[in-house]
Chain A
Amino acid sequence: GQQLNQSPQSMFIQEGEDVSMNCTSSSIFNTWLWYKQEPGEGPVLLIALYKAGELTSNGRLTAQFGITRKDSFLNISASIPSDVGIYFCAGPDPTSGTYKYIFGTGTRLKVLA
């Protein structure tokens, strides 16, 4: 089945640093969603992307829809301790559409104060 690979798998950063992570697929996606999950909670939608090359921000978070449509990127500027969590990319399965969403492997972020 479809897989979304995220990199890095985990990262420790200092408070105040910028963070970059990415998500890649072997297939073309028409929509990319980025979620954050904190321990014991459900994923929370951060940003949705709909067009190749699109750059969208939500506060200190900026996500980009890769021009190949096979990847997406998430940047967090000036990280703070509450940015800790797992960040997942996701998208509607290219063959099933919005009846099925595929989630990435996740990037676990830990912020050192």
Chain B
Amino acid sequence: EPEVTQTPSHQVTQMGQEVILRCVPISNHLYFYWYRQILGQKVEFLVSFYNNEISEKSEIFDDQFSVERPDGSNFTLKIRSTKLEDSAMYFCASKREHSYEQYFGPGTRLTVT
């Protein structure tokens, strides 16, 4: 059964450094998403991407964040200059056209020190 995959599973970085989180969505899916979950809290929407452009973003997704689909399979989230409060689980999700069912990857735990 196809799955969303994410790498790395855990990333530790120093404050001010850039990080890139990588995702491989399910192959026939066309809508891609990034979410954040601070420990013990709810899942928060960051950004969605469709047809090679950002379709929606939240207030959290400021100029420090960017997304890219560099090739036909990867979908990345970049944080330019990490802050302590960026420490969280980051989840990638994808869905097919004409479907509401969104499927999540296993997440990347980002720790900013």
B106 engages A88 (CB within 8 Å): no
A98 engages B91 (CB within 8 Å): no
Contact-residue size bin, chain A (C-beta under 8 Å from the other chain) = 20 to 34
If the complex has contacts A96-B56, A98-B31, A98-B95, are A45 and B101 also in contact, measured as CB distance less than 8 A? yes
A41 engages B106 (CB within 8 Å): yes
Bound-state Cα–Cα, A45 to B55, Å: 23
Could you tell me the dominant secondary structure of chain A's interface residues? Answer: strand
Give the residues in chain A near B50, CB-CB below 8 Å.
99
B102 engages A33 (CB within 8 Å): yes
A-B residue pair count with CB separations less than 8 angstroms: 57
Of B41-49, B64-72, B80-88, the one with at least 4 CB within 8 A of chain A: B41-49
B43 engages A99 (CB within 8 Å): no
B45 engages A100 (CB within 8 Å): yes
Give the residues in chain B near A42, CB-CB below 8 Å.
4, 91, 104-107
A99 engages B101 (CB within 8 Å): no
A99 engages B42 (CB within 8 Å): no
Within 8 A of B (CB), among A3-62: 31, 33, 35, 37, 40-45, 48, 50
A102 at the interface (CB under 8 A from B): yes
Shortest distance from the beta carbon of B6 to any chain A beta carbon, whole Å: 8
Q: Which A-B residue pairs are the 5 nearest by beta carbons?
A: A42-B104, A99-B56, A103-B43, A99-B55, A31-B100
